[in-house]
Amino acid sequence: MSNTQRPNDSILINITEDVLRATDVLTQKGPVKQVRGDSDLFRWVRSQAYRDLIAYINNTSLALQGRRLTESFPVSEEMQRLCDMFDDLERPLAKHTDTSASSKVSVSYLAWLRHMFQIVLRQLAGAVSGEKCMHIHELGEYLRRSFGNATTLEFGPGNELMFLFFLCGLFRADILRARDTVAAALMLFYRYIHLVRRLIAIYNLPISRNPRCAIEDYFFVPYLWGAAQLCLDAPFSPPQCDQPKAIESYRHDYMMVNLIENLPEKSGPLSHNAFQLWCILSAPTWPEVYRGLERCYINHILSSFHTVENAIFWELMSFDMAPAEGLLHRPSMGQRERRVSGVIQQEEGPVRPYSSLGLFTSLHELQKTSEEETDDDDMGDRLVMLHPTTEVAAGLEDLETGERLSDTSTSNTSAETRFFMGKDD
């Protein structure tokens, strides 16, 4: 490893790591699709983007416990402007709603998508203060892909994933801070759900179905965060969700109630319309419901090629391999004070901020950042990470380290990848 020392300067620059990384930042070519085949799923679950996404979802879940949609929570100016941006995205729907004939539905939807593509970067730049505009283009690319597929005219988990990349990227770019964690889920994400529901209703968009998903709906993460809300101080139990009169007064307080009332093709009891969801809601406590939904999301959605085949990766949400580390724990839902290892404290925000080592960074800051990263990369106490197992034959070579993965199955060559999480404390 070569080092260069400037005259009269005690700061050492690590040529093989820091400078090359800074060069990569400036020479990047833009967002790239990285998951082109089933084999890329192994790289996906080892990527920094995957780790940051899991950290963001789980730490947000902790922050949402006991929170209602109707209660007061901190709303920063940046958050308010981002929410207002959705009004500008929703307003053109009035111009593009000529659906008098079914053949015109796709034309109207594509017209709205074109309009959205044209204005979203400008609207996003207007919502973010000038000194924080470095990542506007990247965030805009995630947002553009959050409203459905222009080719198949469908909406599915891949589009929801891109909006989660957008939310996570806002925190990674330091546009949103720790105080915005609750508002990002209960305000901004909820505003996104409302707009997508309107798109689905107006343009009759079909669900891009994942046959392994337990919920027959366009979304999944709202159910996860909806269960998180109810993990503390819940006014009703999970089985009562199949009793409309028992929960109807809470439709404005909890995402879960609103989601159940708006299930597609709901025309009877929950057990008839969403059997697998009904089975999950038969658990006696909300932390158990959260755990079941969490397993479903990790095992059947995030691990599916169908979900990530159109995902793009760039700087904030990087496909680079994350530092190797051991198995971490789930967040302990339903506990007021306890914070488990692997979950960062809320004053630090729901996900670790992005740290750029561009050429604009001074040599002193370069060394300081490098030292800080050495400490911060001990994320066994910060991030929630999943340990992968696969259904592919034993002895598959690890893509990066050459180490071998093992599995008890030697005959099943399923394209999907399964994951398990650490034991609960």
| Contacts of residue 178, Cβ cutoff 8 Å, sequence gap at least 6 | 346, 347, 348, 349, 350
The pLDDT-based confidence of 405 (bands split at 50, 70, 90) is very low
Average pLDDT value for residue range 218-225: 94
Of the two residues 400 and 179, the one the predictor is more confident about is 179
Given this model, what pLDDT does residue 214 score? 64
Helix 190-203, helix 102-127: angle, nearest 10: 160
Given this model, what pLDDT does residue 199 score? 93
Q: Is residue 352 a contact partner of residue 52, using CB atoms and an 8 Å limit?
A: yes
Both tokens of 350, joined, read: 């729901």
Given this model, what pLDDT does residue 211 score? 63
Residues 226-242 pLDDT 10s: 999 999 999 999 999 98
Helix 48-64, helix 157-172: angle, nearest 10: 80
**Rounded to whole angstroms, how far apart are CA atoms 144 and 166?**
10
**Is this structure's pTM higher than 0.85?**
no
Backbone angles phi, psi at 213, to 5 degrees: -80, 140
Q: Is residue 298 predicted with pLDDT exceeding 80?
A: yes
Q: Is residue 35 predicted with pLDDT exceeding 70?
A: yes
Given this model, what pLDDT does residue 259 score? 92
Instruction: Give the single-character DSSP code of 323.
Output: P
- Residue indicated by tokens 């592919």: 392
Up-side HSE of residue 413: CA atoms within 13 Å toward CB? 4
In DSSP notation, 39-87 reads THHHHHTTBHHHHHHHHHHHHHHHHHTT--TTS-----HHHHHHHHHHH
Given this model, what pLDDT does residue 269 score? 79
Residues 301-315 pLDDT 10s: 999 999 999 999 999
Alpha helices in 254-410 (DSSP H): 255-261, 270-273, 275-280, 286-296, 305-308, 363-376
**Rounded to whole angstroms, how far apart are CA atoms 257 and 251?**
5
Given this model, what pLDDT does residue 244 score? 87
Backbone angles phi, psi at 319, to 5 degrees: -90, 0
The pLDDT-based confidence of 117 (bands split at 50, 70, 90) is very high
Q: Is residue 263 predicted with pLDDT exceeding 80?
A: yes
Mean pLDDT of the chain: 77
Of the two residues 412 and 34, the one the predictor is more confident about is 34
Both tokens of 175, joined, read: 């546009």
Average pLDDT value for residue range 86-113: 77
Given this model, what pLDDT does residue 397 score? 38
| Contacts of residue 180, Cβ cutoff 8 Å, sequence gap at least 6 | 74, 75, 76, 78, 79, 171
10-19, 91-100, 229-238, 255-264: which range is least confident on average?
A: 10-19
End-to-end CA distance of the chain: 42
Residues 179-207 pLDDT 10s: 999 999 999 999 999 999 999 989 988 88
Q: Is residue 50 a contact partner of residue 302, using CB atoms and an 8 Å limit?
A: yes
Closest CA to 214 of 201, 205, 223: 223
Cα angle value 89/59/184 (rounded, 5°): 20
Domain boundaries defined on the chain: 58-312
**Rounded to whole angstroms, how far apart are CA atoms 186 and 232?**
16
145-159, 196-210, 243-257: which range is least confident on average?
A: 196-210
- Residue indicated by tokens 């409302």: 194
Up-side HSE of residue 23: CA atoms within 13 Å toward CB? 7
**Rounded to whole angstroms, how far apart are CA atoms 305 and 343?**
27
Q: Under CATH, what is the fold of the domain 58-312? A: Four Helix Bundle (Hemerythrin (Met), subunit A) (1.20.120)
The pLDDT-based confidence of 384 (bands split at 50, 70, 90) is very low
